[in-house]
Amino acid sequence: MALDRLLTTSVRALVLVAGMAAVVLPVFAQTPVAIPGTFAENPIVYFVVTDRFYNGNPANDESYGRHREKTPKDDVGTFHGGDLKGLTLKLKEGWFRDLGVNALWITAPYEQIHGWVQGGQKEFKHYAYHGYYALDYTVLDKNMGTPEELRELVDTAHAQGIRILFDIVMNHPGYLDIQTAKDMKIDVLWPDWEKDSNLLRNYHNFIDYNSEKFGDWWGRPWVRAGLPGYMDGGRDDLTMQLAYLPDFRTESTEAVKLPKFLKEKADTKAVDLPNTTVRGYLIKWLTDWVREFGVDGFRCDTVKHVEPAAWAALKAEAAKALAEFKAKNPTRKVDDAPFWMVGEYWGAGPAKHKLTGFGFDAMINFDFQQQEGDYAKPEKLFRGYAKEQAGRPVHMLNYLSSHDTELFERERLIEGGSALLLAPGGVQIFYGDETARPLGVVPRTDPQQATRSDMNWASPDAKVLAHWRKLGRFRARHRALATGEHKQLGDAPYTFSRVEPASGDRVVVALGAKGAVSLPVAGVFEEGQTVLDAYTGRTAKVVGGKVALQAEQTVLLERVQVETH
């Protein structure tokens, strides 16, 4: 890792005893001994709902005729303007680098349904701003930006050692909404829907659900949809229609042709492929993003609703695609690490998941947010997670807040951030947890929408941000935090060590430490060794197996190298 990414302190003078004389020498730089590990050994993933982050190009805000609503309660499910250009601007400002982030998980940027469906119980207009209602997997959604802007985003991230992960869905495409039906010339609409003053409430009255024209959409060979000419959804996880969405028949061995709407869509890159199944098309479309732009990994949605063989096939083809990109673009890659995949298998915990044998490197750990213990002294959690992780590579991705569950308590983000950023396993930072982004408007029948509020650029919590940055950069330097052996060293203040034997990486951390403290470090740091508290920038020596220093809430001890200038 480059020195400019490390916390560096300077000692203005050093007293050297030569015989009986004390000699003052010039500046010595003290640099942390950094052992960051590979990405698979220490993933620090920042998950951003792109549309809610930063508007880098206002000119694309109302693509496909989309528009915002006048009141906050009506506007909760619209596109708000965040885009790929906005992410690139924040990359260039160093926002993610300052947090120690080494991967950026972005919501699916490919084209979504154009209009909206009823949100909650007819409460609001629900657009596909989150990327889970795909229309065309082969082109970018115009609200997200252009191919040139995606290429700039990936290249800018790679130049900083940050990977790009796409959120992807193989279980389902989006609904057929009224606007998309009009735009794709799928003739299932009754007249005068555009004149209705209360379309939100009367939405379904303007769709002819008995029309055979629904066959011009995806069609029977592609999806289960319970519409005229389609199969009904099944009753098991693999064949059900999740939230009434059309279910891709990824298990089918039947070769299919492009659906009519895609064949006639002017800007699509989709073409008929010989002897190709639904699964084959989806894999081709998704891995083309890897092959062309150098996307480094996928976060896979609704994993339990797609057969394991499909995920294994996706991983194999994505790995080939990334290897091709790196061979053709050696100056644009982060490194030679293989393609990485993490899955959202609802309810999965910290234990190594059965689907790691089907292409997944890690699973999102739903257990972490559910912990009811005191995050200010998370010994039980840390000890249990270290036992489950038991070395590398990382197989769990912990999170504090989520777009699908809830935001962690805003007033506890200091202690919550400590627990997350110091926990064994991998880290998933949800955008705005580092700034105490407030909860948005809460729809009565869909409270998850409130977790996806706009990033609070105008009012970040400076104390929370400083804390998360210090811990994030510290974690980025030490793979021992992710995969090391955990040991409690003290109770008041709560102190622990994390040591990774294979690399020799080692740290000591104290939480709730204030004022003058003496921390036990025997067995981790050697007697007489100089250590740095990365939280305050102060150095100290190990004396009698302890380190005495002035603490400011948190202590992050690491070894230093001393070099003369």
Measure Cα distances from 278 to 212, 222, 312 in Å: 22, 6, 15
How many angstroms separate the CA atoms of 498 and 508, rounded? Answer: 7
End-to-end CA distance of the chain: give it in Å, rounded: 21
Tell which phi-psi region holds residue 234, choosing left (phi > 0), alpha (psi between -120 and 50) or beta.
beta
301 assigned to active site? yes
83 assigned to active site? no
CA atoms within 13 A on the CB side of 217: 31
Instruction: Considering the candidates 155, 177, 301, 454, report the single residue annotated as catalytic.
Output: 301
Instruction: Considering the candidates 344, 454, 500, 533, report the single residue annotated as catalytic.
Output: 344
Residues whose CB falls within 8 Å of the CB of residue 492, separated by 6 or more in sequence, listed in order: none
Length of the chain: 565
Residues whose CB falls within 8 Å of the CB of residue 528, separated by 6 or more in sequence, listed in order: 541, 542, 543
Please choose, from the candidates 551, 483, 560, 489, the residue with its C-alpha nearest in 3D space to the C-alpha of residue 523: 489
Residues whose CB falls within 8 Å of the CB of residue 214, separated by 6 or more in sequence, listed in order: 176, 186, 188, 225, 227, 228, 229, 230
Per-position DSSP letters for 178-227, written without gaps between them: HHHHHHTT---BPTTGGG-TTHHHHGGGGB-TT-GGGGGSS-TTTEE-SS
Q: Are 540 and 533 in contact (CB under 8 A)?
A: yes
Q: Are 94 and 469 in contact (CB under 8 A)?
A: no
How many angstroms separate the CA atoms of 227 and 204, rounded? Answer: 14
3-state SS assignment for residue 388: helix
Residues whose CB falls within 8 Å of the CB of residue 88, separated by 6 or more in sequence, listed in order: 56, 149, 152, 153, 156
The residues annotated with a catalytic role in the active site are: 301, 344
